[in-house]
Structure formats: structure tokens, C-alpha cells
Structure 1
């Protein structure tokens, strides 16, 4: 990718910026993001609110997707179509999300080349500062061809 995916997402998705998502490594269908521990993002048990965790994971999934397919933005709009999140353990403190494209990039582009609207998934793991898995998410994405 020839552009800063994290900066692009923070500009085009202001809510991620509002809650303080920070982008780390982003390349080749992989993205790592972090959400600092902030009291204004806490829920009733003093951990990050479910909505904050969702936003962190969805942001990471978008970065992973764009790191692999961002060169297709001139001809298609990426859209999340569904997301399923599983809250496994109570999250406390800072959390990180790691997202991975679960599809073959070349197959997605070939489907787009064939005039289809490809759908594919990105898997995300959210861990606390100790590295314990606290949540998992799968986001289904599509590339809607420009017409």
C-alpha cells in the first residue's frame, strides 16, 4: 500500500478518532490497533464499553482489508455487511485488536474483475494488556463496484 491506512481511516471514519483508536502495524491483510484505557469509554464494570470494543475491532478489520485491497478504491467502495462479536472475558485496561484478512486477495480481485460484488471475511482478536483473549469478531466485507 502506498498510503497510510490508519491515517486514512481516522480521517474518513471520525468515530474511530473520537474514541481514540490508534493504528500500529498495518500491512498485507493484517492490522493491529490499540484502544487506550479511558474512563469516558468505560461501562458499568469499569472496563471498555462493548461499543468501544466493537469499534476497535471493526476499525482493525477495515485497516486489514484496506492494506490488502486499498488499491481497488478507484473502482469499488468497501462496505462492511455483517459483523459478529463474541465477548469472552471482561476486558480491563488498554486493549489491542489484531485483524487478518481471511480471504485470498487475488480471488477477491478476480471476482471484482469478473463484474461480481465479492464478499469476504476479516477475523479479529481483541486482547488485554496481559495478552488474554477478551473478544473475537468476524466482519464480512464487500467491494461494491462503482457504476
Structure 2
């Protein structure tokens, strides 16, 4: 059974719908999504607000996590724990996020199997329409084991 990660996130995360995030590609620990250029999302310099950039990147990282560990949702909840963002240049227009896990599935699932709470990073690059990197993020995630009822 496979899940449509983009549809799942749009159904369960209303803010992603508010921003108009589009999930273009999701699978194998990677995700690509974008947010359209909208006047109501712009900041004082004419580009997407920093909050839009962060939310786009965090959403892409979550999609990448779910694409790799969606089959583990019955026993663990994926949660972001920290994020570091670097703003490299002014973002303008439509922005694209490309996220990728920096750890292998086997290592994370082995920690869950051992009763541990795995912690791992997802790297995200945000680019303008011309492909220039405008921001980079590292989002640290955990899979919190479900509590016994």
C-alpha cells in the first residue's frame, strides 16, 4: 500500500493549503515542492516572506520523511525537533524546495526496532525560478515511538 504523501499533507496540514504549496515529486526519502509567487505572501523587498520560505522547506522535509517512513506510522510519529536556516540571497518569484534525507532507512528503522528514538537530518535547498539557491535548511527529525495504550 502506498500513500500519496502530498495529498496527505494537504489534507492534514491546513497551513500548507493556505500557502498553496504544490508537491511535485515525492519518494525514496526525497521531495520537491514549490510555492507560487503571490502578492499576499511577499515581504517588504518583494519576495516571499521568510515564514513562507521556512514553511515550504519544512513541508518538503516532512514529505521526504513520510516517503521513507510512512510505513512506520503505526508505531511512531515523525516530528521535527530543530531547524537551521541560512538565507543566502533575496528570494523572488516562485520558490522551489528540494529535500533529501541524509541517513539511510535501515539505520533509522534499526533504532526503532531496538526501542530507541531515532534522530536524523533532512537537507533542503530553496531555489528561485532561475535555479539560484536562495536558502538552505537542515531540519532535524525524530520518530517518536507510540505509547502503549
How does the TM-score come out when normalised to structure 1?
Answer: 0.98
**Aligned pairs for 1:1-147 within 5 A:** 2-147=2-147
Unaligned runs of 5+ in 2: none
Deviations 1:53-90 (Å, cap 9, x if unpaired)?
00000000000011011110010000000001111000
Q: Secondary structure at the match of 2:138?
A: strand
Q: Secondary structure at the match of 1:57?
A: helix
Deviation at 1:107, TM superposition (A): 0.4
Divergent runs of 4+, >2 A: none
Unaligned runs of 5+ in 1: none
How does the TM-score come out when normalised to structure 2?
Answer: 0.97
